[in-house]
Structure 1
Amino acid sequence: MKKILKYSLICTLLLYIGTIYSCKDFLEKEPPGAAAGTVMESPEGVESLLIGAYSTLQGTGRFGGAMATDWTYGGGASDDCYKGTSSGDQNNFNDVEKYVVLPTNAYVSDRWKDCYNGVSRANETLKFLKLTQNGSNPLEESRAKEVESEAKYLRAWFHFKATIVFRNIPYIKTADELEEGVLPEQIPNDSEGWDEIESDLQFAIDNLPEESPMGEVGRVNKYSAIAMKAKVHMYQNELGQAKPLLDEIISSNKYKLVDNYNDNFDMTTENNEESIFEIQAGTSGANHSSMLLAGPCMHQSGPAGIGWGFYQPSQNLFEAFQVTEDGLPVLDVEARDVLEHDMGVGSAEEFIPTEHWLDPRVDWTISRRGVDFLGWGICEGRSWIREQPNGGPYMTKKFMHKAANQSLNSNGSGFNNGKNFRAIRYSHILLWRAEVAVEDGELDYARKLVNKIRERAQGSDVVMGRVSTYVFDGKAVDVDWTQPAANYKVEPYPTGADAFSSKEKARKAVRLEQRLEFATEGMRFFDLRRWGIDDEVLNNYIDEDSQFRAFLKDVVYNATRASYWPLPQSQLDIQSGVLKQDSNYE
C-alpha cells in the first residue's frame, strides 16, 4: 500500500483533475479525457479510484487544510504548540492562534476543500463500483464488499474531519443514495453528521476483514473501523457506546503497545503491532506522498535545518512533562515548578538546562537546547530557532526523521520525508477506555490502564547524550553519550494512589496522560473541547503564556464563539440559500 501511495499522482490523473471548490463540483463535474466512462468501469479502474481516495488523507493544504495531523486546529489552537516561525509568516495562522478567525480566512476554505475533496474521491469510488458491478466485468463479490467498506470508511473519516472544525456540515453521499430528485449541492448543513458517520463506519465494521484487505497494511480493516467509531462516540461524549467497541479491540489481543515509545515515530518501525490506522507516506526520486506538516515543522537552522520552523511546542507543554521525585506527574498546573528555559538567551551565552526530573517522553516530543536532535546533533538553542521571541525556544520532533533515516528519503533534501502518521494506535484505545472507566466509577481499572502506558514509557529507550557544554560558540561540544540527556523518571501509579482516589482526581490523571502520550499530535484542542474545559484551560494558559511571549497579550478565548471555526465565505457564496453560517459568526 505504501508503495502504491508513493505514486498516487498516477491515480490522481485517473480522477477529476483541477482545484475543486464546492460540493456540486466534487460530485457533478464530469472528468475530461480518457479517465471517464468505461475506462473506470472496471476492477482496475475502481481500485485506482479507491487508491486515489486514500491519497487524499493527507490533504493538499499544509496549513489551513492540516488534514492528516490536525496540527493547525488541534495543536496550534491549543496550549500544546504555537504557530512558531516568524510573526509575519502565514498571518492567517495568527488568527487561529488568537481565536479571531473570520469566514474570509483562507485557512477555513482550505480545510473545507480538503475534506470534501476526500468525500468526492470516496463517492466516485462508490459510484464506479456500482457501475462496474452492473457491467460485464465486475469485481469478485467479496472484494466488491471490501471496496465499498473502505470507501465508506474514508467518506466517514473526511466528514469527521469536517465536523470537528465546522460543527454543522452537509453529509454528501452518492446520487444513488440520496432521495429521488435531491442533488448533492442541495444538501444543507443542518447537523453535525454524526448519524451518517456512524452508519458508514458500521457498514465497514460489518464487511471488512480483520486483516488489511489485499494484504496491504495501509488499508483499513475491521478494527480500524471499530476504533474510528469508538473515537466518534468519544467526541460526542457517548462513552457508554464507545465502551463495547474499545473492549472488543482490547479483548481481540490483535494489538499491543510496542516496547519503545519512539517506535511510533520512527520510519523503520512503521505499521507495527500498535498501529490500528496508519496514514502512509513515501518518497521516490520523482515524487513524494509526505505528511504535509513534515517540512514546515523542522528546524530552519542547524544540521537538520531543512524546514521552515513552524509548530513550536509551548513552555506550558514542556512543564507538563515534569514529575515528582516519585516519578509521578504533577496533575495541577498551579503546583508545577517553573522550568528553566533559554527564551531570550543567545546560543553563545551560558544556559544550564533544567535538572528537574522529567518524563522521558519529553525529549522524544520536544527539541530543546542541550539535547540531541534525533542524531542530527546537539540542539544549540536560539541559533537553531527561526524567531525565538515569536515562537519560543522549542521545536517538535515527532514529524522529523532521524539522521540515520535520511537515506530513506529519496526526494530532495528530506523536507518532504516518507514518515507515516499513526492516526489511531493502541495507546489511544487504552486511554479512551480509561476515560470511560473513570466515569463508570471503576477508578482502579482506569489506574491499571494508565499504568500500561506509563510502564511502556518507563521501559522505553531514552534520549542519550549528557551535555556539559553550556555555551555554543562554535567550539567542540562536550557530550557523554553513555549517559541519558536529562534526569528522566517515570513510574506507574501505585495501588491506592491519591490520583485515583476520586473521579475528579482520576479525570485529571487520565487527561494529563493523554496529553503527555499524544503531545503535538493534533488532539489537544479537540480533547479540551469535548471535556468541556477549553474555556478554563485556554484562558489560564493565555494569562500564563502572555508573561512568556508577547504574542498572546490581551487575547481572550471565547468558548461560545471560538470552539468551532466559521464556514468559509467562499463556500457560502457558491451554495447561497443551502448552507448556513454558524450563528456565532453571523
Structure 2
Amino acid sequence: MKYLKNIKYLIVALTGMMLISCDADEFLNPLPDTAIAADGFFQSDEDVLAGIYGIYDAIQGVNENRPNSTNNSTFNRGVQFEYLLTEHRSDNTRSATLEGSRADFHRYVTDANNIQSEDYYQSMYEIIFRANSVISYIDAADPANIAKYTAEAKFLRAYAYFNLVRLYGSDNDAIGGVPLVTAVAESNQDDLLFTREAKSVVYAQIVADLQEAIANLDNSYKARASKAAAQGILAKVYLSQPTPNYIGAKDLCEAIIADGSFNLQTDFNDVFYNEMNSEVMFVIRYEFAEPNESQGFSSEFTSFIRQGRQDGLNIVNPNLVAAFNENGGNRTAVSYIAFGEDAALTDPDTGLPAPQEAEVAKFLPQGTDFDNPDFPYGTNARLAGNDWIVLRYADVLLMHVEAIMAGTGAANTLDALSSFNAVRNRAGLANDADGVITQEELLLERRVELAFENQRFFDLLRFGVADTVLQNHSAEDNDEDITVYPSYNARALLLPIPSREINLSKGLLNQNPGY
C-alpha cells in the first residue's frame, strides 16, 4: 500500500505469518501454525501497528498479474474481484464473453464452486482473522494506543462482515447469515468457526464494532479507518439491516455534513484521478507498476484495445447508457467511454451516444493516453495504481436523502432537497423540478453517480426492488453479443456458500437455498 512504503519491513514477518492461511485448511481461523507465530510476533506497539497494516494488505489483495500469482486458488485477491460479485450481478455491467467462471455472474449461473466467489469469501474472512489476531494481542501496544488500535481493527472487521452478510447471508434465521468469529479460536472449535449466526446477530456485531470506531477514532486518515468513515459505513449498515434504523442513519449523515471536513469535487473527473481528494472518505490504495502493491482490475475493464488477461469485464450495459443519457450530465464522459464504430451509435430520441460496447472510464489504468496509439493505456496497465474508493461524500449525501425518505417512497424536506441537488448540480443538472424526490429518482441518481463503484446491487437490495429490476433486465430482448440471459431467479440475489468451506466444516456449514 502506498502509505506503507517507508515501514514495509515491519510487516514482512507478520504478513508472511498470516499468509499461511492461504494454504491452510481453515480460512475462517487458520490454525495452529499462525497462532504460534503470532504469539511470538506481537511484542511491541510497533508490532501491533504492523499487524493493523497487515489487515489493510488483506483488503488490498494480491494482483493476479504479479509474478507467480496467476493461480486463483492459492491467493486472496481482497477487493479486486468485488465488481464481479456486485456490478456484474446488477443491471450495470457484464462480461464480454460467455466463457469462464467470471461470466457466470452476469448470467446469474454462479455456483458453489465458482473460484472468484470463493476467493472473495475467503478474503473477507482473512481480513477478519487478521483483525481478531491484532485484537487478541492488543496488550502489546502502548497503553495510550490500545483504544484506537482496537477500534481500527474492529472497523475493518465490521467492513468485512458487512460485505459478507449482504452477499452470502440468508434472511431465513433457520439457515443463518454467516459464521460470526470475533476471537482467535482454538483448533477444536468447529462449532464457532462454521455456525451461521442469524443475520440480525451479525448486524448487531457490525453496529457495535463501528460504534466503537466512531468513539475512538479521529479523521486523520483516508486510507485508514477514521471516525467519519465509520459514521458513513454505519449509516449504510443502518439502512441495510433487516429492520432499518432511518433516524440513526439520518443523524450520522448529518453529523458528517455538519463537520465540514468533506466536500464534493467541482470536477467529477478529479474524484477518481486526483486521488485522496476532499470527497474521499475511505479508500484502498494501490501503487502503479509495483507488483506487490498494484491492482489488476483496471486492465480487465478494457475490451476495445484489450489490456487484461480476460476478453473484457465490467462492460457497460445499454440500459445503463440510457440512464446516463437521461440523467448523467457531465458525469457521463468521465464514467464510460466508447471506441471505434460503437462511438458513432446514437440514441434516436436524444442524439446522444448509445454504444453497444463501452468501457468503464472511472478506473482506466494509470498512464492512459489515447493520443499515444502505441501505449494508449500506459506501458504497464496490468499493474495499475488506481485507488479503490470504498466511501465518498456524494454517497453520504444520497444516503441522507434515503434516510429522510425512510422507506416511504418520497422525500420533500429542505434537507433532503439540499443534499440531492448538491449532487445533481455538481453534475451540471438543475435542481429537482417539483421539489419531491421519489424512490425511483433517488435510485437513478445513485446509479449514475456511483456507477462501477460496486454500489448498484446493494442499492437494489436495500430499496427492495432487486427482484423486479433484475427480472426485467434479464428479460430484455438483447442480441447475442450482449449476453444477458433470462436465467435470473430470486435465488441469484444470494451467492452460494463456497463448497470448499462446506467441505471443511464437515457438514456444520449449511448451504443457501437453491444451490
Of 419, 431, 443 in structure 2, the residue corresponding to residue 492 of structure 1 is 431
Instruction: Give the Cα–Cα distance (whole angstroms) in 2 for the partners of residues 569 and 306 of structure 1.
Output: 26
CA contact (8 A) 1:102 1:566 kept: yes
- The residue number in structure 1 matching 2:127 is 118
Q: Which amino acid aligns with 1:258?
A: Q
When residues 442 and 543 of structure 1 are mapped into structure 2, their CA distance, relative to the original with a 3 A threshold, is: closer
The Cα of 1:379 is off from its aligned counterpart by: 6.9
Of 299, 313, 317 in structure 2, the residue corresponding to residue 310 of structure 1 is 313
Gaps of 5+ in 2: 65-71, 170-176, 346-354, 371-377
- The residue number in structure 2 matching 1:557 is 488
Q: Which amino acid aligns with 2:253?
A: L
Of 42, 48, 51 in structure 1, the residue corresponding to residue 50 of structure 2 is 48
Instruction: Give the Cα–Cα distance (whole angstroms) in 1 for the partners of residues 252 and 412 of structure 2.
Output: 20
The Cα of 1:250 is off from its aligned counterpart by: 1.0
- The residue number in structure 1 matching 2:385 is 418
CA contact (8 A) 1:257 1:274 kept: yes
- The residue number in structure 1 matching 2:15 is 12
The Cα of 1:574 is off from its aligned counterpart by: 0.7
The Cα of 1:66 is off from its aligned counterpart by: 6.5
CA contact (8 A) 2:18 2:34 kept: yes
When residues 186 and 426 of structure 1 are mapped into structure 2, their CA distance, relative to the original with a 3 A threshold, is: closer
Instruction: Give the Cα–Cα distance (whole angstroms) in 2 for the partners of residues 545 and 70 of structure 1.
Output: 28
Of 380, 397, 407 in structure 1, the residue corresponding to residue 361 of structure 2 is 397
Q: Could you say what secondary structure the match of 2:298 adopts?
A: coil
Q: Which amino acid aligns with 1:73?
A: L
The Cα of 1:545 is off from its aligned counterpart by: 4.8
- The residue number in structure 2 matching 1:344 is none
When residues 244 and 536 of structure 1 are mapped into structure 2, their CA distance, relative to the original with a 3 A threshold, is: same
CA contact (8 A) 1:367 1:396 kept: yes
- The residue number in structure 2 matching 1:436 is 403
Identity %: 24
- The residue number in structure 2 matching 1:447 is 417
- The residue number in structure 1 matching 2:330 is 360
The Cα of 1:189 is off from its aligned counterpart by: 0.7
The Cα of 1:563 is off from its aligned counterpart by: 0.9
Q: Could you say what secondary structure the match of 1:277 adopts?
A: strand
Note if 1:169 corresponds to 2:178. Answer: yes
- The residue number in structure 2 matching 1:466 is none
The Cα of 1:147 is off from its aligned counterpart by: 1.1
Q: Could you say what secondary structure the match of 2:249 adopts?
A: helix
- The residue number in structure 1 matching 2:83 is 71
Note if 1:248 corresponds to 2:255. Answer: yes
How many residue pairs match? The answer is 474
Q: Could you say what secondary structure the match of 2:20 adopts?
A: coil
When residues 543 and 38 of structure 1 are mapped into structure 2, their CA distance, relative to the original with a 3 A threshold, is: closer
Note if 1:569 corresponds to 2:499. Answer: yes
- The residue number in structure 2 matching 1:354 is none
Alignment of 1:177-216 (within 5 A): 185-192=192-199, 193-212=202-221
Of 369, 380, 384 in structure 1, the residue corresponding to residue 339 of structure 2 is 369
Note if 1:271 corresponds to 2:276. Answer: yes
CA contact (8 A) 1:279 1:423 kept: yes
Instruction: Give the Cα–Cα distance (whole angstroms) in 1 for the partners of residues 420 and 480 of structure 2.
Output: 32
Q: Which amino acid aligns with 1:57?
A: I
Q: Could you say what secondary structure the match of 1:155 adopts?
A: helix
Q: Could you say what secondary structure the match of 1:398 adopts?
A: coil
Q: Could you say what secondary structure the match of 2:300 adopts?
A: coil
Cα deviations by residue, 1:384-405 (Å, 9 ceiling, x for unpaired) = xxxxxxx951111111145468
- The residue number in structure 2 matching 1:3 is 3
Q: Could you say what secondary structure the match of 2:297 adopts?
A: coil
CA contact (8 A) 1:281 1:288 kept: no
- The residue number in structure 1 matching 2:265 is 258
- Provide the alpha-carbon RMSD of the alignment: 3.3
Which structure shows the bigger proportion of residues in helix conformation? 2
The Cα of 1:280 is off from its aligned counterpart by: 1.1
When residues 166 and 22 of structure 1 are mapped into structure 2, their CA distance, relative to the original with a 3 A threshold, is: farther
Q: Could you say what secondary structure the match of 1:276 adopts?
A: strand
CA contact (8 A) 2:300 2:308 kept: no
- The residue number in structure 2 matching 1:387 is none
Cα deviations by residue, 1:528-578 (Å, 9 ceiling, x for unpaired) = 12211112111212222534746234x14222x111011111111111242
Normalised by the size of structure 1, how large is the TM-score? 0.73
CA contact (8 A) 1:59 1:68 kept: yes
Instruction: Give the Cα–Cα distance (whole angstroms) in 2 for the partners of residues 290 and 403 of structure 1.
Output: 13
Note if 1:146 corresponds to 2:78. Answer: no
Q: Which amino acid aligns with 2:412?
A: L
- The residue number in structure 2 matching 1:374 is none
CA contact (8 A) 2:299 2:308 kept: no
Of 61, 79, 102 in structure 2, the residue corresponding to residue 93 of structure 1 is 102
Instruction: Give the Cα–Cα distance (whole angstroms) in 2 for the partners of residues 305 and 206 of structure 1.
Output: 43
CA contact (8 A) 2:29 2:193 kept: no
Of 504, 508, 513 in structure 2, the residue corresponding to residue 578 of structure 1 is 508
When residues 404 and 295 of structure 1 are mapped into structure 2, their CA distance, relative to the original with a 3 A threshold, is: closer
Gaps of 5+ in 1: 133-138, 324-328, 330-357, 372-377, 382-390, 459-489
The Cα of 1:524 is off from its aligned counterpart by: 1.0
Of 434, 439, 448 in structure 2, the residue corresponding to residue 516 of structure 1 is 448
Instruction: Give the Cα–Cα distance (whole angstroms) in 2 for the partners of residues 29 and 288 of structure 1.
Output: 27
- The residue number in structure 2 matching 1:487 is none
